[in-house]
Each structure stands twice: as structure tokens, then as C-alpha cells.
Chain A
Amino acid sequence: MTNENLKDKLLTAFQANEANLNGVSKTALHQKRREAIQYFEKLGFPTTKHEEWKYSNVSPLTKEGFELNASTDFGYEDVKMLDIPKLKGNILYFVNGIYNAELSVIVSPAEQLTIYNWAEALKNKPELLDTYFAQYANYQNDAFTALNTAFAHDGVVIEVPDNTVVEEPVILRFITDARTANVAAQPRNLIVAGKNTEVKVAESYRTVGENAGFVNTVTEIVLGENANVQHYKIQNDGQKSHHIGTTQVNQADNSHFYSVTVTINGGFVRNNLNIVLNGQHCEAFMYGLYFPNGKQHVDNHTLVDHAKPNSYSNELYKGILKDKSTGVFNGKIFVRPDAQKTNAYQSCRNVVLSDDASMNTKPQLEIYADDVKCSHGTTTGKLNDEAIFYMRSRGIPLAEAQTLLMYAFCEDVISQIKIDPIRAYLEEMIAQKLAE
């Protein structure tokens, strides 16, 4: 099995799945899946010749064997080990891509939000999937999104009705149980926030076990007018994990979107964050933080598409790289011809602590309107020696001083996380990781 090429294996699996679908194969939703698999077949996995994948090589992934429907006995005892102290809210577990009802709790009243796994959504709200599924995330040009779309069959579907503030956060915990085998999972999520709504959603990715994992995830987020969505993505995967994820956001007038992506660990990580500011007076804030060490690779690709006038976007990504790790930041800002009065800011700052670590940053501004304010800047440097000496001269040992400085460097991103128990948990994990 390991010798079989991953692409062929996936194509075969798609056909086998389809044979079991019976009547469902005629639905509009499945037609999209079928279209998507055709795109995947045509596109194939990207190579480093592909401009968007120049510094992120997926060929080791494509040579690895994965179980597509790996069984798991991940249960209560395992959850305890991953407990986030004091965290309250809607906490949903997906193990190897499949919703686990026993482990999950939903506390928000139904009038504040509907929250379904795919099976429930197909039964209770098929029109929601028909309307929104695969309408935003581009499967025509992106092989991984095509693949995810083709295999989409579980994940979360969230709808916040108009004029609603969802008080409790939604925490989605995607567990890769790689304790007994190499595991692949492709969660597919849809979040629809109606007009005048507020909701916080956190996606956490976590691997248990030492085998390889392949998680290919897509989340589509649709913001209605005046919606306010906080979206966090927190990754703590294994050394042999491959995570490829796309967060696709579409914003209507006056909506506010806040994104924070924190990568604590992961062998190979590629995060795509694509935001279309498809309305006026929108705001989008994007924050990122990554700490690769060892041979970890973390690639953040962001795209902000200012499609309408008078909107604002601001982006801050920060990384600390150690050992032989590599990082990529690619930030594209696209301002369309009629998106006048756009304000778009971007900054990527990195601390590279080893000569063998490297960071590739590429800001890309494509501006087709003339009355805009855009700026971007990237820096890559070391820790400030003067600051270190100052701290040491007050009695703080070198290692401690370095950790304090690194921690301080992260602070303005960490503080953007507005779910207190998650922020506290992250602070601890980051402190641990920095001290490694």
C-alpha cells in the first residue's frame, strides 16, 4: 500500500465511495464533489515548480501511505489529557475527520446557533449546504481544496441566525489519532454568520501518536452584513504530520473578521487564509504566530481581496525559527479597480535563531485602484543583544532572558485571542515550546 501513489489511491477511493452512494450520487452536492475530483485529477499534487508551492514541497507527502478511514478508539481518557482548563462552550470533537457525538457538548441554545455535523446538516438543513458549500473555496485551481471538496462528508456546519450574539464560543477539536497507523482526514466546515451577528469559533488541530498524519481541511466562512466573527486556528501536530488547510472568508458590508493562526508544532504545515472583502466598510484583521523548530516547516499564505471600496485590512504575522526549521510567508493584497479608499496594511516579522533555519517572505501587492493606502513590511533578525545584556545585568540568566524576549515578541499576537482559557492555555504551550 505504501508504494501506491497517493493520487491514484485517492482517485480509486473516490470511485469506491461513489459506488456505495446509490441515490445520493444524483444530488447537486455530489455533483460538486464529482466535479472537484475531476479538477484534482487534472491538477494533481503541486510540485515546487508551482509558484505558490515553491518553498513547500509536498512530494514526501505524496509518497507516504495513509489509511483513509482509519479506525480509532480515542475516547474520554484521551480527551482528559488534552483538556484545556476552564474552557466552557460548545466543544466538538472530530477524530480522524469524523464527528464524535459522545465526546462533544453543545451548550448554546438553538435560537442562538444551529450547529450540526454533516449527517445532521444533510438531514435537517440540506438547503444550507446547497447554497453555500464549495461556493467560495476555489477547487478549480487548488488541488488540495479540490481533494477536500471531493471527499467532503464530515465536519461542522454552523449557522448563526440574523441579529444574534452567540455568547459561548464554538471550539472544534480535530484530533488525528496516529497511535496505530498513518492517518488521513479531510474535515470540511461551513460557518454562516447572518446579519448583525457575533460569534467566536476556534479550530484546534492536534495529533496524538507517532505515526504520520495527513490533514487536508477547508473551512468556508460567510459573513453577512454587520457580522462580527472571531476565528482562531491553533495547531499542535506531530513531527510527521502534514497539515494543509484553507480558510476561505467572504465578507458583506460592514462586517468584521478577526483571524488568529497559531502554529505550535507540525512537521509540515501549509495554511491558506483567503479573505474576500466583498462589501464596503468591512474590516479584516489577520494575525499569525509560528515557532518551528527541528525540521518543521510552516508556510502561511494569505490573500486579501479588496473587491469593494472603503474597506480596511490589517495583517501581522510573526515567527520564531530555530534549528533547521523553515518558514514561508506569502501575503497577497489585491485591490480591484473600483475598491477606492482601501486601506490595507501588512507586516511580517521574524526572529531566526539559528544559521540553519530560514524564512522566506514574499509580500505581493496588486493594486488596480488609485486612491488607496497600502503598506507592507517584512523583517527578519535576531534577538536584540542590547536587550539581552540589559536583562542579564539585572540578574536574569541568558536562557531566561531569551525566553522572555521571545515571549514578549509574541505578545501582541497572543493578546488577540479573546477566549481567555484558550489564550491562557496557549501562553503555557508557547512558553513550553520556547523553552525547548
Chain B
Amino acid sequence: MLKITDLQAAVDGKEILKGINLEVNPGEVHAIMGPNGSGKSTLASVLAGRDSYEITGGSVTFEGKDLLEFSPEVRAAEGIFLAFQYPVEIPGVTTINFLKTALNEIRKYRGEEPLDAAQFLKRMRERAKFVNIDDALLKRSLNEGFSGGEKKRNEIFQMAMLEPKLAMLDETDSGLDIDALRIVAEGVNKLRSPERAIIVVTHYQRLLDYIVPDFVHVLYKGRIVKSGPKELAFELEEKGYDWIKAEVEAATV
């Protein structure tokens, strides 16, 4: 589904991704872990199409198509979704209106009829339950004045509405207490399916107790320096990142 080959990216001439290789197949859940500043958000942003990064090398294909050629909106319509680490507040645009526009634009791209108001509301009510979001919140301006937890739940709600083929969750657990974390994780688990791939970007292992990954990768200094089964996450939890850093330093000397 997703094939990243030797991907390199820079911002303002500073190299951040230094050759990422990763393959993700439908139905798989991959966790990307790593210390702060290692490039996790950059990778997710580059895949979603943020244009402040310069792609300096490598390639990314999604279902065989050259992903890097597409605008962010086309990527979304092709089935890519990013749950943001810091969701943006957009005063004056309600979540409902925003999502209705988004969903119908995606449907248009796919040659599908737009959902009418009733169909949209039905779908919204149904999916809002996935993450315990109430109507009142959805009628407010997008993310404006939302608590940290509400913002993260809203991201997962949007994922539920847009039904992406590949969802990337960037630190969706950060800033959540254990109850909120559970709600968000349960929402994500309801969205797991054999057709859908999920990349969970996280700093901590605790989210992975709830969303159990098939693979764990460690990103450090712009490279995936280690990959393994879910047990790798426990090892990281136990030992921290220092041993990985040490391994990497030893290898580069």
C-alpha cells in the first residue's frame, strides 16, 4: 500500500529525514517511536503533503502511485489521513460544516454523489459515538477553545467520518489522561480493518497497550534505526532510548 524508499527531507536547508525506508500493507498497524526531535512529525507531515518541507531525495508510492506528486487534498482523496499532533483552531468554521465540505470534496474526487444533509447527519451521529463526542461540540468552531482531549477526539472522529485507507496518528496520546486515552484508543480500534493501515506515531509505549501494533520502528536522527515486533515497544519502555542512541553512535563511529 505505502512504500517509502530512501526518503530525505529538509527544512530551510537543514536535513531532517535522512533516508527513510518503510513498507506498510493493508490491515497493518505500525508504531513509529523515537525521542523528541527525531523527525516523526516531519515524516507524517511530508506524507500528508505539507509544503514547508523540501523533498531532497527518495520516493513514496501509495497504491502504486507517486504520492509526492499529489497536492495534500488529492492525497486525502486518495485515502491518506493525518491526525495532527497540534490540531489547528479555525474560528468561524464549524466542525460540521468543515467535515461536510471535506467529505463531499473527497466523494467528488472519487466520482461519488455528495451526501445530502440527512445522510451526513446520520453518519455523523453514528461516528461521533465512536469517540464520545457530543453534538454541541461539533456545532462549535473547529477546535476553537477545545480542551486538549477534545481536540484529539475530534481528530479521530474526523478519521471515522472520512474513512481513510491509511491513517497516521501523530502523538494522538499526548496530553490525554488515562480515561481520555482509552476513549481515543477504542475509537481507533473500531476503525481497524483488513483494508485499512494505521501508523501510530508516539513517544510513549502506553498508547500501544490499547492500540496493539504489528510492527514497531524506532526513528532517530532522521533514520529508522531499529524495527521489530510489538515487544520492541516494551523494551523501549523499560530501557528508554539511550541504548538505541548508543548503538547508533557506535555504528557511525
Please report A residues at the B interface, Cβ cutoff 8 Å. 384, 386-387, 389-398, 400-401, 404-405, 407-412
A291 to chain B, nearest CB (A): 15
Q: Would A395 and B88 be within 8 Å (CB), given that A400-B105, A404-B93, A405-B93 are in contact? A: no
By secondary structure, the A interface counts as: helix
- In angstroms, Cα B103 to Cα A396, docked, is 8
- Listed by A's residue number, 27 A-B pairs whose Cβ atoms lie within 8 Å are A384-B90, A389-B50, A389-B51, A389-B72, A391-B90, A392-B73, A393-B49, A393-B73, A393-B81, A393-B82, A394-B98, A394-B102, A394-B158, A395-B73, A395-B103, A395-B106, A395-B109, A396-B102, A396-B105, A398-B71, A404-B98, A405-B93, A408-B93, A408-B141, A410-B92, A411-B92, A412-B92
B105 touches A387 (CB 8 A): no
Within 8 A of A (CB), among B148-185: 158, 162
Q: Would A390 and B84 be within 8 Å (CB), given that A398-B71, A408-B92, A409-B92 are in contact? A: yes
Q: State the 4 A-B residue pairs at the shortest beta-carbon distance, nearest first.
A: A408-B92, A395-B76, A392-B72, A394-B102
Closest chain A residue, CB of each to CB of B86 = A386
For B, the interface residue count at a CB cutoff of 8 angstroms equals 30
Q: Would A395 and B71 be within 8 Å (CB), given that A411-B92, A412-B92 are in contact? A: no
B49: chain A residues at CB < 8 Å are: 389, 392-393
Interface string of B131-148 (1 = CB under 8 A from A): 000000000010000000
B110 to chain A, nearest CB (A): 10
A417 to chain B, nearest CB (A): 16
Give which listed residue, B82, B91, B162, contacts A408 with CB less than 8 A. B91
A386 touches B71 (CB 8 A): no
Closest chain B residue, CB of each to CB of A397 = B73
Closest chain A residue, CB of each to CB of B102 = A394
Please report B residues at the A interface, Cβ cutoff 8 Å. 48-51, 71-73, 75-77, 81-82, 84, 87-88, 90-93, 98-99, 101-103, 105-106, 109, 141, 158, 162
A412: chain B residues at CB < 8 Å are: 92
Most chain B C-beta atoms within 10 Å of own C-beta, residue among A389, A390, A393, A407: A393
Most chain A C-beta atoms within 10 Å of own C-beta, residue among B51, B71, B76, B141: B76
- In angstroms, Cα B77 to Cα A357, docked, is 34
B95 to chain A, nearest CB (A): 11
- In angstroms, Cα B225 to Cα A395, docked, is 33
- In angstroms, Cα B105 to Cα A397, docked, is 8
B102 touches A391 (CB 8 A): yes
A405 touches B106 (CB 8 A): no
B141: chain A residues at CB < 8 Å are: 408
A395: chain B residues at CB < 8 Å are: 73, 76-77, 102-103, 105-106, 109, 162
A309 to chain B, nearest CB (A): 35
A407: chain B residues at CB < 8 Å are: 92
B51 to chain A, nearest CB (A): 8
* 5 other A-B residue contacts (CB within 8 Å) besides A389-B49, A393-B81, A394-B76: A386-B88, A390-B84, A392-B71, A396-B101, A398-B71
